[in-house]
Chain A
Amino acid sequence: MDGLLINGEATTLKPGLTMQQLLEELGYDLREGRFIVAVNGSLVPVGEWAEHRLNPGDQIDILGAITGG
């Protein structure tokens, strides 16, 4: 797959973007602490978003806080 898989869904977004650019494109509020991001199951810390470039077929998980027991 050439596109990016975001939260389990295939998208037409193309690789080559940085993580920061992708999140802005998707409309996420980038204030620190609101969510975290993993690529192919590995955490990408906030400080690396501007530099982390996405590759074809990357699986991206964007995780936020929910209630839990």
Chain B
Amino acid sequence: MKDNSDALVINREKIGGRLWLGTSHYPSPEVMLRALDAAQPGFVTVSLRRQTALEVADNGYWAGLQDWMTASDARLLPNTAGCQSASEAIRLAVMARELFGTSWIKLEVIGDDYTLQPHTLELVDAATELCRQGFDVLPYCTDDLVVCEALLRAGCHGVMPWAAPIGTGKGLLNPYQLRTLRERLPEAVIVVDAGIGRPSQAMQAMELGVDAVLLNTAVARAHDPVAMAAAFSAAVVGGRRAWAAGLMAERDIASPSTAVAGLPFWHQPMGRDA
């Protein structure tokens, strides 16, 4: 069930869902499409690479995705995965806009091959130029508040901090920092991107008040990707509703849920104890 009373709007565009899904690592195009059906994602990420004539002609994933997109209100979100400098990312973004026919771009500039940590300095440079060229930029970034502020000043429509390194499934390594981002950037679109491994982790992110969650491997590598997509969808909706409902404040001291006053037999000798 879609809840349109709490729609996500980015740059005046209503986004169809708060779970965003990648398209890599699925066992087949058919399973990918059924997982997309189950997730009903707001954005679907894709990329582009060198291809031979045969690879272009025999591209079942892309052909299937194109058909699926025509019957969906999801948007394509091309990425610049693999780029390691601002100039590479800008060039690939221009190619992506031409190929996919959209100005939305998931801007990735990687600074470290081992952790796939974003190169935040190059990222801000690339974002500044792409925003100037009219792209709708959603940057994959770290959870650094100052970097996120710089990306928003550059004209990005939101920020997409990692929860943990891409593909690790470790969940929210620094929930304090994500909470800080939400508190300090109350009007910004914040999407947790990368590192989510379980529906409970997606729900935790949404409970912190982020606007959406982007993930791929946790669904695609599940034993049953279609069922897992549905599980993530439910978790994201549940987390969002919990955030909107207002979570209770955590406390260190136990407090009974049931009233103590009026408990019968209080301090009265009974039975054997009499």
Which of chain B's residues 94-124 have a Cβ closer than 8 Å to chain A? 94-95, 98-101
Q: Chain A, interface size: which category?
A: 20 to 34
Q: Chain B, interface size: which category?
A: 35 or more
Residues of A within 8 A of B78 (CB): 68
**In contact, A64 and B45 (Cβ under 8 angstroms):** no
Q: Is A62 an interface residue (CB 8 A)?
A: yes
Q: Is A61 an interface residue (CB 8 A)?
A: yes
Which of chain B's residues 62-113 have a Cβ closer than 8 Å to chain A? 62, 65, 78-79, 81, 91, 94-95, 98-101
**In contact, B94 and A7 (Cβ under 8 angstroms):** no
In the complex, which of the residues A28, A38, A41, A69 contacts B56, with contact meaning CB atoms closer than 8 Å?
A28
- In the complex where A66-B46, A68-B23 touch, is A36 in contact with B99 (Cβ < 8 A)? yes
In the complex, which of the residues B49, B52, B55, B98 contacts A45, with contact meaning CB atoms closer than 8 Å?
B98
- Assembled-state Cα–Cα distance A62/B54 (Å): 12
Proximity string of chain B (185-220) to chain A, C-beta cutoff 8 Å, 1 when within and 0 when not: 000000000100000000000000000000011000
**In contact, B98 and A65 (Cβ under 8 angstroms):** no
- Assembled-state Cα–Cα distance A14/B251 (Å): 75
Residues of A within 8 A of B98 (CB): 36, 43, 45
**In contact, A33 and B101 (Cβ under 8 angstroms):** yes
**In contact, B56 and A68 (Cβ under 8 angstroms):** no
**In contact, B53 and A36 (Cβ under 8 angstroms):** no
Which of chain A's residues 19-69 have a Cβ closer than 8 Å to chain B? 26-29, 33-36, 38, 41, 43, 45, 61-69
Residues of B within 8 A of A8 (CB): 50
**In contact, B51 and A63 (Cβ under 8 angstroms):** yes
- In the complex where A65-B46, A68-B46 touch, is A36 in contact with B51 (Cβ < 8 A)? no
**From A24, which residue of chain B is reached at the shortest CB distance?**
B53
- Assembled-state Cα–Cα distance A35/B46 (Å): 14
- Assembled-state Cα–Cα distance A28/B55 (Å): 9
Which 7 A-B pairs give the minimum distances between C-beta atoms?
A68-B47, A69-B22, A69-B216, A64-B51, A67-B23, A27-B53, A65-B62
Q: Could you give 19 example pairs across A and B, Cβ below 8 Å? A: A7-B50, A27-B53, A27-B54, A28-B56, A35-B99, A36-B98, A38-B95, A43-B98, A45-B98, A63-B48, A64-B48, A64-B62, A64-B99, A65-B62, A65-B65, A67-B25, A68-B24, A69-B22, A69-B25
Seen from chain A, the residues whose Cβ lies within 8 Å of a Cβ on chain B are 7-8, 26-29, 33-36, 38, 41, 43, 45, 61-69
Given contacts A33-B101, A66-B61, 10 further A-B contacts (CB under 8 A): A28-B56, A35-B56, A35-B99, A36-B98, A43-B95, A65-B99, A66-B51, A67-B62, A68-B45, A69-B45
